[in-house]
Amino acid sequence: METKWRLAAIVIALVMILAPALPAQDEGEMADSMPAEIQMEPPPAPELVLGEDVPNDGGHKLKLTWGYPAEWSDSVARFLIFRGDAPDGEFKSLGEAARGVTTYLDIGSKIKDNSDYMANDHDFYYKVIAVANNGTESEPAIGGPFQTSGQWFHWGKVPVLVGVVLFGFFTVLFINAARKGKELFVRPLAGIEAVDEAIGRATEMGKPILYVLGIGTAADIATIASFTILGRVAKKVAEYQTDLIVPCYEPIVMSVAQDVVKSAYMEAGRPDQYSDDQVFFVTNAQFAYVAGVNGIMVRDLPATNFYLGYFAAESLILAETGNSIGAIQIAGTDQITQIPFFVVACDYTLIGEELYAASAYLGRDPLLLGSLKAEDWGKGILMVLMAVGVLATAFGWNAIRELVRVIL
């Protein structure tokens, strides 16, 4: 894809993200409450039954409120609520509200076949009856018609949208800066610096390299980051003519990994050395996979083990077995529960976000470095916002605090 087109794609994406926001205004107004037909009845009957669509949802929900004279409120035990299609038609009992409560949230079913189904954009009438302490019922108060509707846009999520758009903007900005040749500094990461050395060591010893992608799916961010690193490692390995073993847990991950390694070998000019037997499927039962990989470790004795991706309980089994065979181990995961085990049992560990960043480090690709810089900016802005929020709270500037809360 050419740069121009890529930028165009970004613009289109932003427009598309924003687009749903536009018609929302009309829809929003449509959903406004309609004036109720008020029916005044002798005292104990409720008055002013109002129905209002609940905003920011897919419809099928209506908030009902009514008034009741204060002097009567103690003598009324509860209110009964009914819903019907016409003011003089049949009403279906919905439930009741307790003493002193004059609102009711009617949540209908979204499923058409359900008896409780509540169609959107359909006129409904509501009937409220007050029940006195002695059990006598008031005349019904009927309000309507009211409608529920689905909205095209969830207004409560606007801040998130703003954040995402802003972040996208930073990404584009820094990617462009990087492409124009601006040098971006990145601090060294020990785990990444060790990659070359670790591959070199395996070559010297004439032993294979084991690369474990974890037990995530091909769409876990950690696995995606790991694919990029695998590509770099595979290229180096092909250049050095060392063996690479990639046992996989998930068949889709395996398919992708095969493509990644194959093209890395091609780039290194050694397509003939690649075989699908290097990147293979073990099984997708967690511990059977571990048993299999353990077996590979103690029998093929790799000099270097990479564990990069999504890991669960197996992390420590792998890392300890790897340690017992004396391999250099480089690990990285975004699973917070497993990071401690890698830190303890491996030589180098990429913690959380460092794993995502690693692909940029290895590639030195301006695109990836640019997005790294954007992430830093994102962090910076968040930190400032959080600091402002906390300070505002501390000094009791509630207005500012609320503002920050809304922004976040």
Partner 1 sequence: MNIFDKMVALDRRWVFLFLFVVVALAYFLRNHFTVDIVTTREVRSIYNFVENLEPGDKLLISFDYDPSSLAELHPMSRAIITQCYKRKVKVIGVTLSQYGAGMVEEIFREIGDVAEQEYGREIVYGEDYCFIGYRPYPAFVILGMGENFRVFFPRDYYDTPLDDLPIMKGVKNYDDVKAVLAITSGTTADFWVIYGNARYNMPLALGVTGVMATDYYPYLGNALFGLIGGWKGAAEYEKLVGRPDKATAGMPAQVAAHLTIVLFIVIGNIGYLLSRKTKKKLG
Partner 2 sequence: MNGKQAASYVVLAIVIVAFAVSIVLKGLLVTVGAFLTLFIFSFLYKDNPYYKFAEHLFVGVSAAYWMCMGFWGTMVPNLFGKLYPPMVGPVMPALKDNAAEPFMLIPLILGILLLLRLSSSVGWISRWALAFIVGTTAGLNLIRYLRSDFIQQINNTTFSLYATGATGFNLGETLSNIAIFVSVMTGLIYFFFSKEHKGAFGVGARTGIIVLMVTFGASFGYTVMARISLLVGRMQFLFGDWLGMMQ
Partner 3 sequence: MIVFLVSLFMVVQYYVPLDSWAWMYQYLIDWTIIIGVFALLLGIWSLWRVNFNKIKQRAENWEYAVITLAGLLIMMIVGFVPGWGNLNNYVYEHFFYYILVPIQATMFSLLAFFISSAAFRAFRARSLLATLLLFAGLVIMIRFVPMGQVSSYISDLSGWILRVPNLAAKRAIIIGIGLGAIATAFKIMFGIERAYLGRD
Please, which residue, 92 or 157, has the CB nearer to partner 3?
157
| Residue 301 interacting with partner 3 (CB under 8 A) | no
CB of 333 to partner 1, least distance (A): 14
- Among 224, 266, 312, 367, contact with partner 2 (rule: CB under 8 A): 224
Separation of alpha carbons 302 and 186, rounded Å: 31
Q: Which region holds residue 187: left if phi is over 0, alpha if psi is between -120 and 50, else beta?
A: beta
Separation of alpha carbons 47 and 102, rounded Å: 10
- Among 351, 363, 365, 397, contact with partner 2 (rule: CB under 8 A): 351
CB of 202 to partner 3, least distance (A): 20
Please, which residue, 132 or 266, has the CB nearer to partner 3?
266
- Among 155, 337, 344, 408, contact with partner 1 (rule: CB under 8 A): 337
- Among 93, 109, 241, 275, contact with partner 1 (rule: CB under 8 A): 109
169 binds, among partner 2, partner 1, partner 3, none (CB under 5 to 8 A by kind): none
| Residue 348 interacting with partner 3 (CB under 8 A) | no
- Among 15, 336, 399, 406, contact with partner 1 (rule: CB under 8 A): 336
Nearest Cα neighbor of 243 from 284, 203, 196 is: 203
371 binds, among partner 1, partner 3, partner 2, none (CB under 5 to 8 A by kind): partner 3
**Which residues lie below 8 Å from residue 57, measured CB to CB, with a gap of 6+?**
150, 151, 154
- Among 110, 122, 201, 405, contact with partner 3 (rule: CB under 8 A): 110
Please, which residue, 48 or 296, has the CB nearer to partner 2?
296
**Which residues lie below 8 Å from residue 75, measured CB to CB, with a gap of 6+?**
132, 133
Cα–Cα–Cα angle for 295, 347, 259, rounded to 5 degrees: 60
CB of 78 to partner 1, least distance (A): 11
- Taking residues 261 to 300 in sequence order and writing x for each that binds partner 2 by CB under 8 A, - otherwise, the string is --------------------xxxxx-xxx-xx-xx--xx-
| Residue 298 interacting with partner 1 (CB under 8 A) | no
Residue-by-residue DSSP string for 184-225: ------HHHHHHHHHHHHHHHHT--EEEEEES--TTSHHHHH
Token duo for residue 273 = 């050395």
Task: Count H helices and E strands in the chain, helices first.
Answer: 12, 13
The residue behind tokens 């790799």 is: 302
| Residue 22 interacting with partner 2 (CB under 8 A) | no
Give the amino acid at 46.
Answer: P
Give the amino acid at 212.
Answer: V
- Among 3, 25, 275, 324, contact with partner 1 (rule: CB under 8 A): 324
Nearest Cα neighbor of 155 from 8, 286, 29, 326 is: 29
Please, which residue, 184 or 282, has the CB nearer to partner 3?
282
**Segment interacting with partner 2 (CB under 8 A) among 13-21, 107-115, 204-212, 340-348:** 340-348
| Residue 164 interacting with partner 2 (CB under 8 A) | yes
3-state secondary structure of 1: coil
Q: CB neighbours (10 Å) of residue 247?
A: 22
**DSSP H or E segment with residue 145:** strand 141-146
| Residue 387 interacting with partner 2 (CB under 8 A) | yes
| Residue 341 interacting with partner 2 (CB under 8 A) | yes
Separation of alpha carbons 107 and 54, rounded Å: 10
- Among 20, 23, 95, 295, contact with partner 1 (rule: CB under 8 A): 95
Phi/psi at 207 (5° precision):
-115, 160
Phi/psi at 117 (5° precision):
-60, 140
- Residues of this chain that interact with partner 2 (CB under 8 A) are 160, 164, 184-187, 217-221, 224, 252, 255-256, 259, 281-285, 287-289, 291-292, 294-295, 298-299, 336-337, 339-341, 343-344, 351-354, 357, 372-373, 375-376, 379, 382-383, 385-387, 389-390, 393-394, 401, 404-405, 408
**Residues engaged in binding partner 1 (CB under 8 A):** 95, 107, 109-111, 114, 116, 313, 324, 336-337
